[in-house]
Amino acid sequence: MASDVQTNTGKSAALGDIILETRNLTKHYGGVQALNDANFTLRRGEHVAIMGDNGAGKSTFVRQITGVETRTRGEVIFDGKPVHFENPMDARNAGIETVFQTLALADQLDVPDNLFLGRELVKFRLGPFSILDYKAMRERTIEALEKTGVKIPNIRGTIERMSGGQRQCVAIARTATFHSKLTIMDEPTAALGVQETAQVENIIRTLKEQGEPLILISHNMRQVMDLCDRIVVFRRGRICANLDIRNQQVTGEDVVAYITGAKTQPEYSDAA
Ligand SMILES: Nc1ncnc2c1ncn2[C@@H]1O[C@H](COP(=O)(O)OP(=O)(O)OP(=O)(O)O)[C@@H](O)[C@H]1O
Ligand SMILES: [Mg+2]
C-alpha cells in the first residue's frame, strides 16, 4: 500500500496499488469528440506525464476526472471506488489536488484566502462560530510561496491583480501545502521563468520522494524525461502510446513521433 512506496521512491518496482483508473472515459462537446475511450491507470507513488499536441484532449481528460464537467460516458475509479465528482471542490475533498491550466483561483480573494479556501485554520470555536487564525494562514502562505520561488510583493493583494506566473505559483503552493492522495498539474510551468520552473520541478521531486502520485501535463520534453516514470501520449482525443521511460529506452524523437502520429503503438492502433 502507500506506506511501502514512501520508503522506496523512484523505481517502478516500488510502486503501490492503483490509485486512479479511467475506463472508456469519453467527452463529446456536441460534435467535437474531445476525448474517446481513455483507459488509463496510475499507481500510488507513480509520476506520469501526459503529452500531446494542442487540442489533443489532455485538459479535457483532467476536467472529466476532477468534476469540472460531466463526462459523456465511462468510469473513473479513484482510491478503489467509482467516483462522480460534482465539482472540483468535491474532488479536492476526496484528495485530488489540481493545478488547472485555466487557473481555478478566486479572483476577488487574496493569496492566503485562496490557499486555505475550504480548509481555513481555526483559532477557536464557540458553538456555531469560529475565529479563523489569519496570522497562522499568512505565515504558512509565505512559507509555501518561498518553495515555489516566485516573488509576490503583497500576499494580501487580490489574485486578479497578479501576473499569470504569480497566479500559477499560488496554485502550485496550494498543492505543496496540503498532502493529497493525487496531484494533477496541467502545464504548471508554462507561464514561469527559468528559476521559478526549477523551483516548481523541485516541488515535484519532493512529491515523488513523499510517495505522492502525480499526473503532469507538459509540452516540455526535458522536464518530463527528468521527472516522470511514464509518458502517456494523447492524439486527437485518444491515447496512442504508453511509454515506460524509466525501464525502457525511449528517446525524445520517439515521443515526438507518437505525438505527431508518425508512430502508434500496436495496442493503440485504433487511435491511428
Ligand atoms: N467547452 C468546449 N466546447 C467545445 N469544444 C471544446 C471545449 N473544450 C475543449 N474543446 C475542444 O476539445 C479538444 C480538446 O481540447 P483540450 O483543451 O482538452 O486540449 P489540450 O490537449 O488540453 O490542448 P492544449 O495543449 O492546447 O492545452 C479541442 O479540439 C478543443 O477545441
Ligand atoms: Mg490543455
CATH number of the domain at 252, please: 3.40.50.300
- What is the domain extent for residue 38? 2-271
Residue with cell 463526462: 71
What's residue 104's pLDDT? Answer: 64
CA of residue 63 to ligand 1 center, whole Å: 10
Q: How many CA atoms lie within 13 A of 238 on its CB side?
A: 14
Give dist(CA 120, CA 109) in Å, integer.
13
**Atom 27 (ligand 1) nearest CA:** 54
Q: How far is the CA of 77 from the centre of ligand 2 (A)?
A: 22
pLDDT tens-digit map of 40-67:
999 999 999 999 999 999 999 999 999 9
Residue 187 CA, ligand 2 centroid: distance in Å: 7
Domain count across the chain: 1
Our separate counts of H helices and E strands in the chain read: 9, 12
Three-point CA angle 49, 53, 57, nearest 5°: 75
pLDDT at residue 11 in the model: 41
Burial 209-220 (b: 16+ CB within 10 A, else e): eebbbbbbbbeb
pLDDT, average across residues 1-8: 37
Asked if pLDDT for residue 241 goes beyond 60, the answer is yes
Cell of 45: 507513488
User: How many residues belong to the chain?
Assistant: 272
Q: How far is the CA of 236 from the centre of ligand 1 (A)?
A: 10
Tens of pLDDT, residue by residue over 121-140, are 887 877 778 788 888 888 88
Question: Has residue 2 got a pLDDT over 80?
Answer: no
CA of 101 to the centre of ligand 1 (A): 11
Query: What per-residue string of b and e applies to 155-176 under the rule 16 or more CB within 10 Å gives b?
Result: beebbeebeebbbbbbbbbbbb
Torsions phi, psi for 85 (to 5 deg): -70, 135
Residue 25: what pLDDT?
98
List pocket residues of ligand 1, CB cut-off 6 Å.
29, 32, 34, 52, 54-60, 101
Give the residue whose CA is nearest to atom 25 of ligand 1.
54
Q: pLDDT grade, residue 13 (50/70/90)?
A: very low
Q: How far apart are CA 193 and CA 255, in angstroms?
A: 25
Q: Are 145 and 155 in contact (CB under 8 A)?
A: yes
More confident residue, 228 or 193: 228
- E strand map for 52-171: 73-78, 81-82, 96-99, 122-126, 129-132
SS3 18: strand
pLDDT band at 268 (very low <50, low <70, confident <90, very high): confident
Q: Which of 182, 192, 203, 240 has its CA nearest to residue 35?
A: 240
Mutation choice for ligand 1 from 25, 27, 28, 32, CB with most ligand atoms inside 8 A? 32
The chain-wide mean pLDDT, for the chain, equals: 86
DSSP 128: T
77 vs 25, 66, 73, 223, 251, CA distance in Å? 11, 12, 13, 28, 31
- Give pLDDT tens digits for 194-215: 888 888 898 899 889 989 999 9
